[in-house]
Chain A
Amino acid sequence: MSLLRLDEVTRSVRLPDDETLEILKGVTLDVEIGDHVSIVGRSGSGKSTLLNLLGLLDAPTSGSIWFDDRLTSELSGNARDRARARGADIGFIFQQFNLLGGRTALENVMTPMLYASGRQFWRRRQFATEMLERVGLGGRLNSMPEKLSGGEQQRVAIARALIRRPRLILADEPTGALDIETGASIMAILDDVAEVSGAALITITHDVNVAALARRHYRLDRGVLAPIDVSRVLSAAPEVGL
């Protein structure tokens, strides 16, 4: 079953000099439950813009996006519904971790639960503790983000993205701010938790080695999304190991 489907999606912005910049051009993509998709692209190719569309944070200029076989333009009519869908079904991981400063690891992981209902809301502390234990941070529950290493911060971010058991995980350059070794271990954790929870994972990266971990591979080039054969890319750059 299709979880997320993009059909001929474009996204343009109006520049100050009144010209229109088309950032995304006719993007078509189909992501199924449990899928793992990577999207590589150079800086400025439109990756973040695409991510915002995938995450229901933004609406396309033209074309359609279906989530759960529901046209999101119907959702987009109601910002509140979109926010709820986002909270319940989508987990974000950002390049810059984007942890909330001044809050402990535990409080950061509990944050998405503040917008949940029922058990998820009332037992958020317990769920968050378990989630942090799963990413190997059971001993750092009360540490502030500033006191954690980059890898640890990203693990907190992963725990936070997964706490509500989303069906779609969107990772924007998840290893971009980490050294190669830490990046590899983060990807392993991400892969593992996504696998266990059966969520679809879309990794957006400029690092082909990270991209190679996915099952299906795309390249975004100047706003155009196209499938690629990642093994060829990898063999062309053998010096970059994981």
Chain B
Amino acid sequence: MQKQLLLGDEAIAQAAIDAGLSGIYAYPGTPSTEITQYVISSKEAKEKNIVATWTANEKTSAEAALGMSYAGKRAMVCMKHVGLNVAADAFINSSITGANGGIIFVVADDPSMHSSQNEQDSRFYGKFAMIPILEPCDQQEAYDMVHYGFELSEKFQIPVMLRITTRLAHSRAGVARKTSREQNLVKLPENLKQFILLPAIARKQYKDLLNNQPHFEAAAETSGFNTYTDGKDKSMGIIACGLAYNYLLENYPDRNIPYPVVKVSHYPAPAKMIEKLYEECDSILVLEEGYPILEELLRGMLNKGKTIKGRLDGTIPRDGELNPVIVGSALGFETPQLQEIPSLVANRPPSLCKGCSHIDSYNGINEALEKYGKGRVFADIGCYTLGALEPYNAINTCVDMGASITMAKGAADAGLRPAVAVIGDSTFTHSGITGLLDAVNDKSSITIFILDNSTTGMTGGQPSSAFGKIEDICRGIGVEEEHIRVLKPLPKKHEENLAIIKEELEYDGVSVIIPRRECIQTLNKRMRDKFKEKAKA
């Protein structure tokens, strides 16, 4: 079959479709978004009746996928690294329940924080849950690993993690597909108590998980994704994990690496191969796209064995993603003489689109708060976080999804008046509702702006779970009707909106202001599609 040019994300999606997937669940998040997007847009997936859906958040995704696994079918759940923090309860406990139909957690890490708050390494979570982790080095391996991952998951009745990073997720290469497999039929777990984590059952299941560890280790030695390649020069042995393996190869155009190399793409890391490397070589260089996890293990707390080089001894920078030059310099190649960037080149940070409704919201908020002074706006994550930059300088916090409402509450409890929260519509249903309930129950004095642009803007305009429901949710939770205020954020409405905002800032209780105007990007797209349809007709 001819190779198809696919992003790493798309390769994973196509592999899942080919491997008999029955359901994929996700909350968008860079760099994982395109996986689910691909399945949602796939004609083939539609014909096969594959369920592909955006959920309220990563925890609900994970649980839905686990439910599909319970029913015997193959399920995938996708998220960005911080999404796994949200899904962590489901994730960790799913390693104790185990799986029935195959289930893969795809987690996309973002070293160097291209679009994220941190660069946490999901392999830690995988190890924490004690489940197999697959970390592809390229798009083809990503494709192949999905097939293998489902088989592994069903063989040991265990969830499997597929860990990727930004550069693989968002890079295209030719991928060869395998023949398609039928979906599983509905089939209940043989033991109908498998998924009941009452202590007595959980203790037994946990022992099963522990007893399975040697099997997981054996699988990692034989799956073929981990390899040992000998080299003549034993002064150094190299361990290259995931994508780092490519940067290693890149430094040897003829692919003749003088040192022995263990390529690690399947965890638990292959102890036998690594032991052989350690025995045969004078020192070890560890290349990891992420935290120095294997490096730390090899070093041990006291670092009294052979020399271990990597992120911890300064051979490689402690933070940020790898690239061919960083790896080259760790291998002892001279760093090339580079042309400099002329000093007149200015930074060009991302900014809110021209005409974005968030601009009008911030203009209102800034002016209304002028008399109280700066430093009281607790914001959240989305396009509106760009309100932190010039010329708005409108917000003071952005921590994790949903933290706006709850942090404003805490600050109000401490006596900060007024305390303002700013949260997007999609973020509100992701993690804001429970915080609002806390605030209502405590009659906290906070003013909450739910910026309703009717979409999940930041990640490219996916539907928002909040669509058409925000007032009802607020009412249902107990926000007083007269303190739910809907505005149209437009320059010509500025004075009218300002008066309403000022009024609510004075109110000693929970008030919710909903500036509502569609995202310019999704609006334009809708108009274009409409135009196209008309042209067709």
Whether A associates with B in a native complex is no
Give chain A's interface residues, CB within 8 Å of chain B.
Answer: none
Give chain B's interface residues, CB within 8 Å of chain A.
Answer: none
